[in-house]
Amino acid sequence: MEIKVLDKTFVPFISEERIQTRLKEIAQQIQKDMNDEVPVFIGVLNGSFMVISDLVKHYKGACEMSFVKMASYIGTQSTNQVNQLLGLDIDVTDRTVVIIEDIVDTGNTLVALKKLFDQHRPKEVKICTLCLKPEAYTKDIPLDYVAFEIENKFIVGYGMDYDKHGRNLPEIYQIKE
Ligand code: IMP
Ligand code: MG
């Protein structure tokens, strides 16, 4: 069923069930890749709060977690400047960090995150994202775990917002043109 968020109409795109299925698969894959390491999951606020919450529930090994806050979007448009609004409060030196994103679009946020983490000399930084827009992604940072590759259209829900609205939707909707 179509929904309205502020002035725009959205159509159902990825169901709760498909999201959970993929997150479980990815949690298991990360666990395999960790061997004996205890990863530090870093949620990128605000958008990734639902992804990290559900992902760590499927992760059955020992792990730590924390959050950073970045913002690059105004309304439905990406801006080139990425601002850090909340920094790192955990020592990641020599640790394996898994950055959890809601969506990678241009990759500007990822570049800023990589820079931030490299300053702290982690052993390794892996990137996990729920969604990727391959047509928009122009950076060469490799993405280790991608749940859904999607077309280059604006989406909302499951943590992602349109002008601060729609984050609470438990599934993902795509803009109707
Ligand atoms: P990037 O820096 O262009 O890769 O954009 C990254 C951030 O912008 C994501 O983490 C989201 O918070 C936000 N974003 C990108 N595309 C969308 C979208 O289609 N809907 C909602 N938010 C988005
Ligand atoms: Mg985000």
Contacts of 95 (CB under 8 A, 6+ apart): 37, 38, 39, 40, 122, 123
14 burial (CB, 10 Å; 0-12 / 13-18 / 19+) is buried
User: Cβ(73)–Cβ(129) under 8 Å?
Assistant: no
Instruction: Dump strand ranges (E) for 26-95.
Output: 40-45, 64-74, 77-86
175 token code pair: 């803009």
Between the CA of 64 and the centroid of ligand 1 the distance, in Å, is 25
Residue 73 has pLDDT above 60, yes or no: no
Indicate which atom in ligand 1 lies nearest the CA of residue 101.
10
Give the pLDDT confidence score for residue 79 in this predicted structure: 57
Contacts of 105 (CB under 8 A, 6+ apart): 78, 133, 136, 137
Residue 71 has pLDDT above 80, yes or no: no
Q: Are strands 64-74 and 77-86 parallel, antiparallel or unpaired?
A: antiparallel
pTM of the model: 0.93
Whether 78 is in the pocket of ligand 1, judged by its Cβ within 6 Å, is yes
Write down the mean pLDDT value for the chain. Answer: 92
Q: For residue range 111-145, what is the model confidence (pLDDT) as tens digits?
A: 988 888 888 899 999 999 999 999 999 999 999 99
Give the pLDDT confidence score for residue 83 in this predicted structure: 65
Q: State the Cα–Cα distance between residues 87 and 69, nearest whole angstrom.
A: 7
Ligand nearest to the CA of 111: 1
Active site residues: 105
Between the CA of 83 and the centroid of ligand 1 the distance, in Å, is 13
Q: State the Cα–Cα distance between residues 136 and 151, nearest whole angstrom.
A: 9
